[in-house]
Copies of this chain bind each other. A is one copy, B any other.
């Protein structure tokens, strides 16, 4: 291990995540870890599903954004904060900005779910839409930074963001400890890698022999390819999926480093599997989950990997979903029942 790599590896770990947990605790919903005999029957295993769709703004993203914003020097907040995202990170920084009392600008792709855009506006943020096929969201955000003096809150490629997301894992470990359960497997959906790197760091710390999986949309497996190549790769532009929340263009450099070290196994799910998982979460967890947020549940319930007889921890990570997509998920499940 060279000096460079050691310094990177040494700079993110369980202590960062614990500090984040202490910092954000007063503002965070302690979301339950859910179990269901019906889900366990479908999966032929025991599932422990963190209901993070119940978090403030409807996704885990609030944890990372809040950890970042609470760590800023007061001077960095005077002119406000700006972020770009498919929607959930945007709402998260809108809410984090509202808590510290600073202006917020969010850069969101046209065509993002209306629920996500409404979520940002409800928290008082200014929304700047862009065309993802023709415009670069980082450039738009950079222009806001230079023109208005705002501070960028990155969506995932940042240790504070990763540490905030990782507090989901601390909650899970604490809950499972209370039940006397040792998880054999952890499955986390993955886009830029903030949630996966944070949660899997915690799981590795508490359960050194746990099997660690990440889940991406089929055909949008930028992290799987990045892990294989050992370098940051992108998804090809222009492809769509109902899992919009984990269809960002590129993986994060820091999350990639952490996930390589953790020896994770990548999985993929398609839109149909994600919709069926949305319906299963509806019926058996009474939880509203968006397709991207249900990707890990989809992999466990409907994927190729056989998890029979294992204790599985997963995260239902977000619940901001357009009504038309949700109704389609329920209809799909109804026709499968009938």
A-side residues, CB < 8 A to B, are 29-32, 34, 37-38, 41, 51, 53-54, 58, 115, 118-119, 122-123, 282-283, 285-289, 319-320, 323-324, 326-327, 330-331, 333-334
Which residues on the B side are within 8 Å of A287 (C-beta)?
54, 286-288
Distance to closest chain B CB from A279 (angstroms): 8
Q: How far is the CA of A282 from the CA of B290 in the complex (A)?
A: 12
* Inter-chain contact B319/A326, CB cutoff 8 Å: no
Which residues on the B side are within 8 Å of A331 (C-beta)?
323, 327
* Inter-chain contact B122/A38, CB cutoff 8 Å: yes
Chain B's closest residue to A333 (CB) is: B323
Which residues on the B side are within 8 Å of A333 (C-beta)?
323
* Inter-chain contact B30/A32, CB cutoff 8 Å: yes
* Inter-chain contact A323/B319, CB cutoff 8 Å: no
Which residues on the B side are within 8 Å of A37 (C-beta)?
122-123
Known A-B contacts A122-B38, A287-B288; A330 and B326 likewise in contact (beta carbons under 8 Å): yes
Distance to closest chain B CB from A43 (angstroms): 14
Which residues on the B side are within 8 Å of A115 (C-beta)?
283
Chain B's closest residue to A334 (CB) is: B323
Distance to closest chain B CB from A52 (angstroms): 10
Distance to closest chain B CB from A176 (angstroms): 14
Closest 5 CB pairs of A and B: A286-B319, A286-B288, A53-B286, A323-B330, A327-B327
Q: How far is the CA of A118 from the CA of B150 in the complex (A)?
A: 53
Which residues on the B side are within 8 Å of A326 (C-beta)?
282, 330
Distance to closest chain B CB from A24 (angstroms): 16
What are 20 A-B pairs at a CB distance below 8 A?
A29-B32, A29-B34, A30-B32, A34-B54, A37-B122, A37-B123, A38-B118, A38-B119, A38-B122, A54-B286, A54-B287, A115-B283, A286-B288, A286-B289, A286-B319, A286-B320, A287-B287, A287-B288, A327-B327, A327-B330
Which residues on the B side are within 8 Å of A288 (C-beta)?
282, 286-288
Chain B's closest residue to A33 (CB) is: B29
Which residues on the B side are within 8 Å of A58 (C-beta)?
286
Chain B's closest residue to A55 (CB) is: B286
Beyond A51-B54, A53-B286, A327-B331, 11 additional contacts (C-beta under 8 Å) are: A29-B32, A31-B32, A32-B54, A38-B119, A41-B122, A115-B283, A286-B288, A286-B289, A286-B319, A287-B287, A287-B288
Which residues on the B side are within 8 Å of A51 (C-beta)?
54
Distance to closest chain B CB from A35 (angstroms): 8
Chain B's closest residue to A319 (CB) is: B286
Q: How far is the CA of A287 from the CA of B286 in the complex (A)?
A: 6
Chain B's closest residue to A52 (CB) is: B286
Q: How far is the CA of A296 from the CA of B319 in the complex (A)?
A: 23
